[in-house]
Amino acid sequence: MMIGPCNATQTMIGFVRGARSALFTLCAVPTLLAAQAREPFAGLDAYVNRAIERFKVPGLAIAIVRNDSVIYARGYGLRDVGTGIPVDERTVFAIGSSSKAFTAAAVAQLVDEKKLELDAPVTRYIPSFQMYDPFVSRELTVRDLLSHRSGLARGELAWYGSDADRDELVRRIRFLTPSWSLRSQFGYQNLMYVAAGQVVATVSGISWDAFIASQIFAPLGMTSSSTTVRGIDAITNRATPHALDDSTRAVTVKWRNIDNAGAAGSINSNVVDMAQWVRLHLADGARDGKQIVSRRQVDEMRQPQTLIRIDSAARANNPYTHLTSYGLGWFVEDYRGRLLVHHGGNVDGFTALVGMLPEERFGVVILTNLNGTAIPTPLLRRVMDMQLGVTERDWVGEALVRQEQARTRAAAAARSAPARPTDAKPTLALSEYVGTFVDSLHGQMVVTEKNGGLHLAFGPNWQSPLEYWNADNFRVKFDTPVLPAFFIGFRVTPAGKVNELVADLVGVPVSFRRPLAPPRTPANATAPPSN
């Protein structure tokens, strides 16, 4: 099929639809049909451009789907603040945890094929799987993996920046102590999605990556999408990740390799591809007359599985949502009397959001190249309000007010925090703190002495000088915009020896201990006889 007219800059894009292949010719920049390039709602472009200016977002892309049509796809701003190259609708971004819905869909496909049961225990598919509590090991189901009700707090630094592969991460889950009882409350959990991805791999006989590529990307024609950062540098039209520095200026950061947590968030895509994903869901799992995921399983993904409490502040910020929950790979809530299904994503330098009003057969994809920006949610609400014919609220303006209030509170808290003593010194000589400290879940931290100070290495990616603070406590800041600075404290025995350090990892204290030294064999000892 040919779409034209085109000129010498045309690009060829092929994809597979079921067993048939089709080749499309699309014009490059602009690559869209005229109907897709027209602003679908009066004032939308001006609103988006003003929003990215106010939020200091370098670049953003948006796609809008109505019924079975992509009615709009456009880029705004820059791929990279250094090069000045603009974002377009085919610019590739990392989508972070918006990947989770793909994992849920992969599980759903295997359920459709009767190869897997949602309410079967995980141990049926991964016999070696263990949780900290033996009872939970026996009872935890595939549905629990997908609905954030395992009873575990995040444990993010077990995988983020780690060199542990997926099987090893699943093995280490047994060392993560629970924060709540099983199924008692919502607790966002990336490691459970890593485990879900390994269930997919075990049951299907191919890796999670290969399954997503062959069973979802290929039939939907998502030719620019991938599950890995390997080869990302070869993609010319890719966004550069950014973060805001202390002066609220956007600066570039590195693409982060989170392939080991693939099923939880490693997909890269653009809004044209992601619009095909939205089309699938708005069509209740069908594409071109073929049921990719059964309607029953699509309904299952949208069913509330785990209740999420809404506090008074959240209710005041959005009075149109009264109930919110997590389904399977999607957040599920009400919005202005309609069902809203959505999921965001954050990974170093990127923030994404996919949202749908299934009853309206309407969906939106928003991809940005700024770390942790709040812009997607107010933009999503604005676009959905435009579709519903109500525009009485300036969601972006309200979000900016809340953001500034949060910054003011943070600055006040920083001013009121106890000051670091200027003349304090560590209680021991620096050499006494040097050594290797190990935790079964997180691996090892290695403390060395460099240039008159201490230095910390945590796994293959995290390096930081240890900034002395007080007593036996030091401050750490890794080279990532995702993790805030945190403290480690050395534990000193009455004999004046350091045998442990406690790290405040993402708000959770974790103990790393020196490995016990093997017993020494006396030089004149006789070796035991061998059998």
pLDDT tens digits, the chain, 531 residues: what are they?
333 333 333 322 222 223 322 322 333 333 455 556 689 999 999 999 999 999 999 999 999 999 999 999 999 999 999 999 999 999 999 999 999 999 999 999 999 999 999 999 999 999 999 999 999 999 999 999 999 999 998 889 999 999 999 999 999 999 999 999 999 999 999 999 999 999 999 999 999 999 999 999 999 999 999 999 999 999 999 999 999 987 789 999 999 999 999 999 999 999 999 999 999 999 999 999 999 999 999 999 999 999 999 988 888 889 999 999 999 999 999 999 999 999 999 999 999 999 999 999 999 999 999 999 999 999 999 999 999 999 889 999 999 999 999 888 988 887 877 777 778 889 999 999 999 999 999 999 999 999 899 999 998 999 999 999 999 999 999 988 888 889 999 999 999 999 999 998 877 889 999 987 554 544 444 444 443
Find residue 252's DSSP bridge partners. Answer: 242
Other Cβ atoms less than 10 A from the Cβ of 489: the count is 17
How far CA 288 is from CA of 16, 18, 262, 280, in Å, comes to: 12, 9, 28, 10
What is the DSSP track for 261-279? Answer: GHHHH--EE-HHHHHHHHH
58 upstream amide cis, omega within 30 of 0? no
How far CA 455 is from CA of 28, 157, 254, 462, 464, in Å, comes to: 49, 19, 22, 11, 6
Joined tokens for residue 359: 């009853």
Q: What is the pTM of this model?
A: 0.89
The separation between the first and the last C-alpha atoms of the chain, rounded to the nearest angstrom, is 75
Distance of CA 366 to the CA centre of its chain: 15
- Sequence spans of domains, the chain: 1-31, 34-100+207-409, 430-513
The CATH number of domain 430-513 is 2.40.30.10: no
Find residue 289's DSSP bridge partners. Answer: none
> How big is the CA angle at 81 (ends 73 and 410), to the nearest 5 degrees?
95
Joined tokens for residue 231: 């080869």
Joined tokens for residue 11: 């690009």
CATH class of 34-100+207-409: alpha beta
Contact (CB, 8 A) for 35 and 71: yes
Joined tokens for residue 53: 């200016």
Do 430-513 and 34-100+207-409 have the same topology in CATH? no
Joined tokens for residue 287: 């594409």
Extract the runs of DSSP E, i.e. beta strands, from 29-147.
59-66, 69-77, 93-94
